[in-house]
Structure 1
Amino acid sequence: MRTVAAPASASRRNAKGPPVMQESIESSRLARLRNWISLAGFIVILGGLFAFFLLFIVDLIQPRSNPYVGILTYMIAPAFMVLGAGLVVLGGLLRHRQLKAAREDVRLMIDLNRARDLRILAAFAGGLVLFLFLSAVGSYQGYHVVASTTFCGQACHSIVEPEYVTHQHSAHAHVACVECHVGPGITSFVKSKLSGAYHAFTTLLDTYPRPIPTPIQNLRPARETCEQCHWPTKFVGNRMKTRTHYLTDAANSEYTVNLLLKVGGQRSKAHGIHWHVANKVEYLATDPRRQVIPWVRVTDDEGKVSEFRARGFTNEVAEHAVRVMDCLDCHNRPAHAYRTPNDAVDAAISRGRIDRSLAFIRSNATALLVQPYATREEAEQKIATGLHGLYTGDPRLSAAIQAVQEIYRDNFFPQMKAKWSAYPENIGHKDWPGCTRCHDDEHRSTDGQKVIGFKDCNACHLILAQGSGGALTQLTPEGQPFQHPEEGYELGDKCHNCHTGGP
């Protein structure tokens, strides 16, 4: 392979025949790459190759996948190799322009009969194949890196740490983020990355909201996510549920409720909780968090339409603002639930993480959890100091402190202002309106004949037993009225009017 320069006079004299050529090392193809820009490009390529193979080995041998190693291996290192190749080409083009300006005619000759040209061509082809192979491997691995849960949760660690930590402790911990937030196929992948570009921009400018607002407006519909595993036609039958709570007295008295949840479902004619699945339910929410629902429209399996309005709501309803109810309208925190302080401490006591014999430990622990702390470190330090001040020298205290600190780490994120009170949970109706957003005795049909009731507790669940000790052995199959463990409760009061999840 060679390039030659022919004087203009020689070219004119030999226009009808082979030109007279003189080989010039300076104008050869290799000579064009003998410049500082191309040299820098070769150095960058070699550095990228070295980094790629080194990080590839690290990625293979490490016991757990690290998103940062994956990003460096399959995205950053290949990007440097591409940059180096670009510098090599740029340097060659600039050098070619210099040679062309110095000579009247510069020509490239490739003679495959010459061993030297053949070796150069073979080396170039081999390098190209290797480069394309590495690019393909990098692209494939890079795709899987950015689709991994560790990448989603740790690449922008401080911002999505609350979502990542709560996901790890949820029932959906083995479901990858992309299964719900992205979807299958390259189209969904590209859309998610374009959306992510905006979020990256807000991250650089530090203008992202704290906490991250929900519900997500463009989340994939439940039919494409939840229903891929949870088959609606199989939502039938009843399910036992035991809820154990501890009171705020000195003995941290136990109070347990055994419930029989009437799950119901699409094939069931009974009015169970999942009665909604067999009917089309539409609603209008007047707040961003979908907690205020003044209008509901129900179309039953026979096509009959009933419209319900909350008392005092007379507005016209725009169809574009109407949402069709799906799984996520009730199960709105399936993978990112923040436990309330009360529930988290109750669970820790039940598991023996916190010794129940510590007087008032239930109320003291929850009181310390809800204090305003600027950082996690401050919270852990003040939780320890506060409990030490209340139970000085008690040998049972060390385990309790660790348990309360762990509750804080798993459910409170002061840097993002994320905690249970920032995110309504619509399952149930104890700490948030939940079911009572519609089932409140306030929504009446336009003909005045129907009401979406609240007081018929047995429509969704039966209380089989409640209390403690021997009371829990007296099961009542037909159900029994709820008995509040403290005085002053009247049947019909909405739980969330008093219960907030904290002390």
Structure 2
Amino acid sequence: MGFRKKKKTDPAGEIEIKPKKPGVFKRLWRKIKGIDWSNPVNKWRLLFASLFAVIAMVGIVFGAVTATNNPKFCAFCHEMGPEFVTYEASAHSEIQCVECHVKPGVVNEVVHKVESLKEVYYHVTGVPDPIVQTVAVLDENCLQCHSENRLVTATGDLKVNHEEHIKEDIPCITCHSGVAHAKVVDRGINSQKDMGYWKKDNADKLVTPEYMRPNMGTCIDCHDKVNKGERPWKDIQYSLPDNPHEKGEKKEASHAEAATVDTAAATLTAEEQAVHNKKTQQEIILQAIGKQKKDVKLSMECFTCHKEVSTPKDHEQKDWTQNHGGNAIQDLNNCLDCHKDTKWIKKVPTQNIVSLIEAGATKTAYKPNLTVVKNDSRESNFCSSCHGYRPLGHTNSDTWLTAHAPHAATNEQKAECYVCHDRKKPAEGEKIKAPTDVYCEFCHRTGFKDEKK
């Protein structure tokens, strides 16, 4: 049996309607309107209440800004793993991210906080993969800490007139793009599939000085363009990593290396294209080692930029180009310290993060080994810049064709040939490593009768 509360009725028998109770804000407004503001006590109460509200609001805003400015706040998002690990391992680890990435000024910082709300949206809905820097760090951010009058590096070797570069409006980031994040975008190791590897324990294998210091290839590429009458830094895309999210003509226009591909190359096959690109790099490298010395705006000689480092004395020997192989076998690490591609070309090649970690964990001291030297010289564009040209001892093609057999009689002699030549024609789609497209089985189609010993 249920009981119901009977609705009250008026004497006429009609249902009594209660007046609607006003809401919280309406009651509060009525209360404020009812205050006697002529009373000094009420005025003081209002002043203290307002002051407390302002202090509380400022405290909340300051706390939020301070918390979000802390680099560890960025680390909360897994997609920022590469940026956070590289930042902690860099020379900038003692300053906050916003000191580089936000234009100085309170108003700019507030605007940045509002604009950063889109990062929350990306985090929830799915961030662009990979994350790419599309807004350059401004010079005025750098100049908050650094002087524009610096003439030499801390080592005293490198001569870089910062003031002259600044007068030409060359952005700091053009040379110092890897100083905080080790060029992880250019190296292709910051995609979502690689996030699990970005741990503090792997920092020493992934964040190395060669990717954080100014890249000599950038200096060479820029100086070469200046000698051709160009001012490449005027396009900010020259200073930023390639953005894989751009499409069509915009992406092609932003490619820093687009100028190295001529129209004739577009008609080549994939195999010929690879050889063409390699030879294009060879030309740049040869310019860098002293081909541009006279009648140019910027000489490419070592002493143009270096006070101490120069071409070693033994490299000046007349027969050095023909007889340096023995030195390479005995002291390969010293050779590669100068002759590595990452020093001589602007664009950093794409890497595999697993291979970097494994190589860092299993790295052993070099022992003289012809096979290692052969493989490294084939991979190196610097070595290929000479190995791609016919040696003096090869004479002319017709004579050499019938006279080279005694020079390739033993396995050791053949190994020397394989430094420059592939034995077999590279398979379609295979990476071409040899500096020349002349391979042995072009003539020896049935192979060699035997391997001489």
Q: TM-score range by the shorter chain?
A: 0.3 to 0.5
Query: What TM-score do the two structures reach when normalised by structure 2?
Result: 0.42
**Structure whose residues are more often strand by fraction:** 1
TM-score by length of 1: 0.38
Higher normalized helix content (fraction of residues): 2
